[in-house]
Amino acid sequence: MIPNQWYAVLESSEVPRGRPVGVTRFGERLVFWRTPAGDPVCLRDACPHRGAALSIGRLQEGAIECPFHGLTFDPSGRCTLIPANGRSAEVPKAFQATGYPAREAHGFIWVWWGEAAQAAPEIPWFEELDATFSYGTIRDHWPVHYSRAIENQLDAVHLPFVHATTIGRGNRTLIHGPLVRWEDRPGLPRDRMNIWVFNELDHGQPARRAEDLAVPARRPSLQFQFPNIWHNWIGDDVRVMAAFVPIDDENTRMYVRFYQRIVRLPGLRQLFNLASLPANRVILNQDKRVVRTQLPKRSDLRMGEKLIPGDGPIIAYRRRRSELRGEGG
């Protein structure tokens, strides 16, 4: 995992008011709930007393009660009551539960995975996906490390083969570039990848390298924002966005959203969004069928694969991910 980042981990609707929700993220059991004001809370899903899952406990005025012995924890993870010791007894500080800062934005619950949350940057997002868009969501489980799922969406070479009957129709197998340019966020250099894809029919012409290409006037084809969100700029009014949520080293939760502002009337836009999902699921399943077979399940900067120029965005991603993990070049 890349430390000290905001990760999208759940959709907002998956954390309702009034009950805790237990999930596995980052290889760790976590429990989420909402305060009376509706703010999301995230703690490690294990009571410090005897390790029972807090997620099967109950909520009491914004705090969570362990189902095993009734220990109660507030949203900061501070234990406020050990019933067996009596209500008047002071609670030892050792009973502090581990918590992670959680925020809600853009229809997702985000968790700050790391340290120094007081200095955390703003939640990462694609500013162009504003309130003028509506969307429908596909949620899917992939038995792969999240890095493999991300790399699949940075891969222009696979389109005419994996998606020959859908978005890869036309047999445009020749790849120029692709061209990668980085953007910065305040305090976070090279935080976003912008990728321009140039696929065409092969008539025997040579493929041009990325260094021989100029940045075109059009918007980038793809954008990836560290640590785990992606944006496909299909058109000004139609986009696809994805969050690649790490469950553990061999499993990823996929959230794929179809955004549009073609149909804006309430009711009709929801129907339009729902109608878009079956086709997007077909495309997603075409990817999943192949990516789930890749070995090893996790990608790394140096892993023995024989890469080609068309893999440029994947190489750039691996290098930057390695740097952010403190592994050097």
36-61 tens-digit pLDDT:
999 999 999 999 999 999 999 999 99
Averaged over 203-216, what is the pLDDT? Answer: 96
pLDDT of residue 153: 98
pLDDT of residue 114: 86
Output the furthest CA–CA distance in the chain (Å, rounded).
Answer: 83
pLDDT of residue 257: 98
| Sequence-distant (≥ 6) Cβ neighbours of residue 258 within 8 angstroms | 135, 136, 138, 238, 239, 240, 273, 276, 277, 280
| Domains, the chain | 5-119 (2.102.10.10), 134-324 (3.90.380.10)
The pLDDT tens digits for 77-96 are 999 999 999 999 999 999 99
Per-residue buried b or exposed e for 53-84, using 16+ beta carbons within 10 Å of the residue's own CB: bbbebebeeebbbbeeebbbbbbebebebbee
Q: Is omega for the bond preceding 143 within 30 degrees of 0, making it cis?
A: no
Percentage helix, strand, coil, to 5, in the chain? Answer: 20, 35, 45
Banded pLDDT at 188 (limits 50, 70, 90): confident
Provide long-range contacts, Cβ within 8 A and 24+ apart, for 324-329.
324/2, 324/5, 324/226, 324/227, 325/1, 325/2, 325/3, 326/3, 327/301
**What single letter denotes the amino acid at residue 226?**
F
* pLDDT of 117 above 70: no
Q: Give the tokens for residue 263.
A: 């149909």
Of 119 and 106, the structure prediction assigns the larger pLDDT to 106
Averaged over 55-78, what is the pLDDT? Answer: 97
Query: What separation, in Å, do the N-terminal and C-terminal C-alpha atoms of the chain show?
Result: 17
pLDDT of residue 99: 95
pLDDT of residue 328: 58
The pLDDT tens digits for 253-302 are 999 999 999 999 999 999 999 999 999 999 999 999 999 999 999 999 99
Averaged over 150-162, what is the pLDDT? Answer: 98
Dihedrals φ, ψ of 286, to 5°?
A: -60, -40
User: Whole-angstrom Cα distance, residue 181 to residue 87?
Assistant: 59
* pLDDT of 191 above 60: yes
Averaged over 22-38, what is the pLDDT? Answer: 98
pLDDT of residue 212: 95
Q: How far is CA 307 from the centre of its chain?
A: 25
Averaged over 174-178, what is the pLDDT? Answer: 97
pLDDT of residue 119: 62
Mean pLDDT of the chain: 95
* pLDDT of 147 above 90: yes
User: Whole-angstrom Cα distance, residue 46 to residue 22?
Assistant: 10
- If you write DSSP's letter for every residue of 295-316 in order, what string do you get? SSSS--SSSS----GGGHHHHH
pLDDT of residue 116: 64
